[in-house]
Chains A and B, each alone.
Chain A
Amino acid sequence: MLLSATVCHARSVPPLEGLEALRKGFGGISDFTAEISQEKRLSLMKRTMVMTGTVRFRKPDLFYMELNPPFSSRMLLRDSVIEQAGPGGGERNRIMLPPEQGLKRWIAKLADPVTSLPEGVGMHADLSGGLYTLTITPAGKGQVKALTISFLEDGTIRRLVISEQNGDRSVMTFKKLRRNVGLVDKDFRLE
C-alpha cells in the first residue's frame, strides 16, 4: 500500500491540454542544446543501431544534429530543407521536405494558444509525475505512423519516438538539455 502510494501512475489527460502544455513550455525557449542517445530499429539492419551525439535548436527553423563515431554524420534542418554530411564532411545529401512539414510552420503553430486539435491527426496525451507524453498519429498513408514526444512542464524534451509504417522505429533520448544558451549562426553550419 505504501509502495502504491509513492509510485506515480501515468494518467490520460485531454490532448488539447497536452498540446497546450507543450506550447506553453516551448514558449519560453528560444534555443537549446542537448546530448542525445538514439536507438534505431530498421528493417534493413539485423540489429538495432545505437548511437550518441548532440543536438542544437534555435527558433524559428534551425535544427542541427551531430552523431559520434562509428556513425559519424551531421544533419542540418533549415525549415523544410535537410542537409546531411557524411563522415569527414564528405558526401553531402540534400532532402526537401514538403513545405507544409517545414519546421518554421510547426513552431509558428506553437505561438498562439491551442484552442482546437489540428485536423487530420490523432492525438493522445499522458501525464506522469510532471512528464507529459504526447502521441501524434497522422492520418493518411504517409511514412510516419506515430510521433511520441515526452517533455516536462518547462518545455524540456526528454524523449522523441518516431514509428514508421514499415515497422522502423527510432527512439531519441535527450540528456543535459540546456535552454536559452544564445546559439548563433555558426552553431548551425555543416562545414
Chain B
Amino acid sequence: MPPPTAPRIVSWVHNASCRHLEWIFRVTTTRPRLVMCAFLVALALSGISIATIRFDTDIFHLFPSQQPALRLLLDSLEWSGSAGEAYFLLEGDNRALPREAGRFAERLRQARVDGQPAFRRITWQVFDENQAGPFNNLMAYAVAHPQIFIAPGDVQRFSRHFETLEVDASLHRLQSGLAGQFGGAMTGLAAADPLFLRDLILPRLKAGSQALDLDPSSPYFLSRDGKVLIMIAEPARPVQDMIFARKLVAAINEARAGAAVSISCAGAHISAVLDEQAMKSNVLISIFSSLLVVLGIFYAAYRRLLPTLLIPVILACGVILALGTAGLFISSIHIISFAFTALITGIGTDYSIHLYDRFHSERAAGKNTEEALRLALLNTGHAVFTAAVTTALPFLALGVSDVRALSELGLLVGLGVVFSLYASLFFLPPLLIFMERRYPVVYRPIPSLGLRGVWRLATGRPGTITLLTLLLTSGLCWAAFRTSFDGELKNLQPRHSEAFLAQERIERHLSLSPKQMLVALEGTDLTDVLARAARVEELAGRLQARGEIMGWSSLGRIINGPAAQAEVSRLLRSRFADGTHVAQRVRMQLERQGFSAGAFSPFLDSIGRFGQAAPVNGEEAIARLAASPLRGIVDHHLVKDGKGYHALIYLHYRGDEFRQAAFLAELRAIDPASRATSLDLVSHQLAEAVEQSFIRAFLISGTLELFQLMAHFAERPTGIFYSLFPVIAGSASMLGAMVLAGMKLNFMNAMVLVTILGMGSDFGLYIRFRVCADAPDVREAQFVQIGRSVFLSALTTIVGFGSLAFTDYGAMSSIGWATNLGVGFTTLFALVTLPAVMALFASRHR
C-alpha cells in the first residue's frame, strides 16, 4: 500500500532539499568561476531591474487608499489644497513676532527656485486693504438678500431694525461712528448697510470662517495664547516634484536664517524632504552601525579576516538581488519599505555564522577541508536551508497584505533572506577552499562563550530550569493579555522631525478641537447636494445640543439651504409687504438726520424688494461669497471638480463622548451615499486591514512553516516541538514584556508576531538538529558548537533590529524593540530551556 499523500510530499521535499544542497556543494567546489559568473550576471540583471523602480516618499501611499475613510481623507486634502500648503510657526517674544513675521514673509516672497518665485501666496495677517471693497460688496449683497444670510429665527430681529425708533437709533450710531472714525475706513460699509443689519450676518460668517483657533483681537494669525504666529504659504509646485521640494526647503532655510524668533515649518513639501533626509540618515546609520558591530562580532569569534569581509558582499548581494527581483513584481517601492532592508544585515549574517562555525569546528576537530566543508554545507547546511525558508516564508506571506508598508517590507526582507542564504551557500565554499590553499592556518577550537556552563547548568537541574521557564512564561503571558493597540498614525512618524513637531504645535496651539470628522455629500446637482447637506447639518446640530461634539462648520452655517431660504422669504414677504413704504420712511429718516439719502439708494431700493423675496439660486450665492474675502470659507466647504459638487461638513469633537458608530449609522440612514472620515476612522479601518493581513499571513506562513518543519524533521518529529516551543514562549513573553515596559502594539510592530515565528523557530531547529548524539560528552560538544552559532546569530539579529530601535521613526523603532524582545526571549528559551527539556526527556527514556 503506498504511503498517504502528505507524508509523501514531506519526504519528497526533504529529499529534494538534500539533493539541492549536494548540487550546490558540487558546483561550488568544482566550478567556482562559473558560480561567480552566474552571480555577476544575476547582479547585472538586478541592476537593470532596480533602475526601473520608482522610490515613493508620500506617507499616505503606505496605506490602502481603497479604505473609504482614507480615500475621503486623501480626496479632501487634494480638494482643499492643504495637502500642498506650507505652514510656518513663529515662536518667541510676542512683541517681536509681527516684525519678524513681516521680515520672514518678505524673504519668502523674494525666495526663488530655478529663477521663479518659490511661493504663489503667503498669508499671515487678517487685514488686507485690497479686500475692503469686495467685503463691502458682499455686505451690500447680503443686506439686499437676507433670505440667504439670515437664519429663519432671526427674521423678527431683522425686521425690527426697520422700525422707526430703531432706524433713528442706528442712524445716530452711524453718525457717531463716522464722526469718530479715523479716516474714512467705514464710509463704504456705512453706505452699504446704514442700519447695521450686518450685526445679524457677521457673527454667522465669522463662526463659519474659522479653520484655526486664532486670537480675534490680533491682526495676525496669532494663537489665542499669543505664543505662536502661523504663516500659510502655497508653494509654486506640487509636493510630488521632489527636486523642487528639496530646493524649496533650501530656500526656506535661507529665508529663516538669522531670525530673532524660532521659525519651524510643517506641510507636505517640508515633511517629504525632511522625512526623506531623516529616513536616509536613519537607514545609513542603521546599516553601517549594525554592519560594523556584526562584522566585529564575527571577527571577534572566529578571528578570520576573509570570511568576515565576505559578509558585506553576501549582504549586498542579498539586497541587490531582492530589490531586482521585487522590481519584476512592483513598479515602485516606498522609501520606508526600502529602509527595512536594513534587517537583512542581522538575519543574512546568520547563515555565514552557522556554516563557518561548523566548518571551523570540524577543522579544529581534525577533519580535512573537504570533509569539514561537506559537513558544513550538507549537514548544518540542511538546517540552515530549512531555517532560511522558515524565516523567509512569514515575510513573504506579508506580501499578500493590503497595507503597502507591510507587503513591500515582507517581499523585500523575504527575498533578501533567500538571496542572502544562496549568497552564503555559493560564496563561502569557494572562499574557504581558496583560503585553505593560499593562507593555510592551524584551526584552534573556538571559545565556548560560556555555553558549556549553560549546558551543564540546564542538564544538571532540568526540573528547576523548566519550572522557572514555565513560571516566567506564565507571568509574562498573564501580562500579555493586557496588550493594547495604539492606533495613532502620528506615533509612527519621526518623533524629532521638524515637520512632525511643528504639526504637533499647530494642533496644540491653533486647533479648534482635538479631533475632527469630515462628512462629504456629493452629486452633480448643487441644489440637491446642499439640500442633503442641510439634513446632515440638522443632525450635527442635535449632536452639539447633546454635547457630543464641540461644534461644526459647513456652508449651511453661513448661507441658508433651499428650505431655510424658502422659510425666510415667506417671513420677509409677510413682514415687508409694504416694503416700498418702509424704504420711503427710512429715506426720510436719513434726510432728517442730515444724511445725503442719494448715497444710500441701492440699500433703499433693496428694502422695497423684500416684499417679493424668493429663494436665490445656490450657485449665485456661492459665487458672491467666492468673490469676497470669504472665498476661503467656500473653498473649505464646497468643492467642484470633474465628478460634481462635494459639500463638506466638519464636526469638531474631543474624544469618546462623540459616539461615532451611532452617528455613522444615523448618517447612513439619512444619506446612504454620504462619506465620512476622521483620523479615528482611518486608524480603525487600518487596524482592521492590518488585522486581516496579520491573520492571513499567520495562516499562510504558519501552514508553510509547519510543512517545512515536518519535511525537515521527517525522521524526528519531536524536532517540531523543539523548533516551536522557544518561539511561542518567546512571542508571548515579548508581548508581556512590552506591556510591562509600557509599549503598545501598533500597525507596524504587530507584524513582528508573524515574522518572529519564522526567525525564532530557527534557534530550536538548529539545536534539535545538531544535538543528536547519544554520548553525553559528544552532545555537550554539539550543543556548544550549535549554541555558539545560535547565540552569535541572535546577537547579529538583535544588532540588526537594535539599530532600528534607536531610529527616530516610530514605525521602525517599534519594530526594532518588539523584535529585540522577541529574539531575546526566544534565544533564552532555546539555549537554556531546550537543553533542560532534552535532559528531562532523556532521563525518562532511561
Contacts and interface: CB of A to CB of B under 8 A. Distances in A.
A44 B182 CA distance: 16
A99 B125 contact: yes
A70 B176 CA distance: 8
Given A44-B599, A46-B595, A98-B129, A71 B187 contact: no
Interface in A13-42: 38, 40, 42
Contact of A98 (B127, B175, B594): B127
Interface string B578-594: 00000000000001001
B178 A40 contact: yes
B599 A87 contact: no
Interface in B120-166: 125-129, 132
Contact of B219 (A43, A77, A80, A144): A80
B172 interface: yes
A77 B180 contact: no
Nearest to A168: B184
Interface string A74-98: 1101001110101100110111111
Interface string B173-188: 1011111111111110
B191 interface: yes
Nearest to B101: A99
B34 to A, nearest CB: 77
B190 A73 contact: no
A46 B178 CA distance: 13
A45 B595 contact: yes
A65 interface: yes
A67 B176 contact: yes
B727 to A, nearest CB: 65
Interface of A: 38, 40, 42-47, 49, 51, 65, 67, 70-75, 77, 80-82, 84, 86-87, 90-91, 93-100, 102, 142-144, 162, 164, 166, 168, 170
B184 A90 contact: no
A162 B180 CA distance: 13
Give 8 closest A-B pairs by Cβ, nearest first: A71-B179, A73-B180, A96-B219, A73-B176, A168-B184, A164-B184, A96-B127, A75-B180
A44 B190 contact: yes
Contacts of A94: 217
Contact of A99 (B177, B187, B220): B220
Contact of B127 (A51, A74, A77, A99): A99
B102 interface: yes
Contacts, number: 111
Contacts of B173: 86-87, 90-91
A86 B176 contact: yes
Q: Which of B132, B176, B595 has the most CB of A within 10 A?
A: B176
Contact of B183 (A47, A87, A93, A162): A162
Given A44-B595, A47-B594, A98-B127, A82 B182 contact: yes
Interface in B547-587: none
Contacts of A74: 180
A74 B186 CA distance: 15
A43 B599 CA distance: 8
A101 B124 CA distance: 15
A47 to B, nearest CB: 6
Nearest to B128: A98
Nearest to A96: B219
Interface string B188-230: 0011000010000000000000000000011110000000000
B187 A81 contact: no
B523 interface: no
Question: How many residues of B sit at the interface, in one of the four size bands?
Answer: 35 or more
B182 A43 contact: no
Contacts of B596: 43-46
Interface of B: 98, 102, 125-129, 132, 172-173, 175-187, 190-191, 196, 217-220, 591, 594-596, 599-600
Nearest to A80: B219
Given A96-B127, A99-B98, A86 B177 contact: yes
Given A40-B178, A97-B219, 15 more contacts: A43-B596, A70-B175, A71-B175, A73-B177, A74-B180, A75-B181, A86-B173, A95-B186, A96-B219, A99-B125, A143-B129, A143-B183, A162-B182, A168-B184, A170-B184
Contact of B176 (A44, A46, A72, A77): A72
A43 B98 CA distance: 35
Nearest to B216: A94
Nearest to B132: A143
Given A43-B596, A93-B177, A144 B183 contact: yes
Contacts of B600: 44
Nearest to A44: B599
Contacts of A49: 175, 178-179, 594
Residue picked from A65, A71, A90, A142, most chain B C-beta under 10 Å: A71
Contact of B102 (A42, A100, A162): A100
A170 B653 CA distance: 50
A164 B183 contact: yes
A70 to B, nearest CB: 8
B177 A143 contact: no
A44 B183 contact: no
A111 B125 CA distance: 26
B188 to A, nearest CB: 8
Given A71-B179, A81-B217, A91-B173, A42 B594 contact: no
A90 B219 CA distance: 23
B184 A97 contact: no
A92 to B, nearest CB: 11
- Of B178, B179, B596, the most chain A CB neighbours within 10 A belong to B179
A28 B259 CA distance: 32
A84 B219 contact: no
Contact of B187 (A65, A98, A144, A166): A166
27 contacts: A38-B179, A42-B184, A44-B191, A45-B595, A46-B591, A49-B178, A67-B180, A71-B176, A73-B179, A75-B180, A75-B181, A81-B219, A84-B177, A84-B180, A86-B176, A87-B176, A90-B173, A94-B217, A95-B185, A97-B219, A99-B125, A99-B220, A102-B98, A144-B183, A162-B182, A162-B183, A168-B187
Contacts of A70: 175
A143 B218 CA distance: 22
B129 A142 contact: yes
A84 B182 CA distance: 10
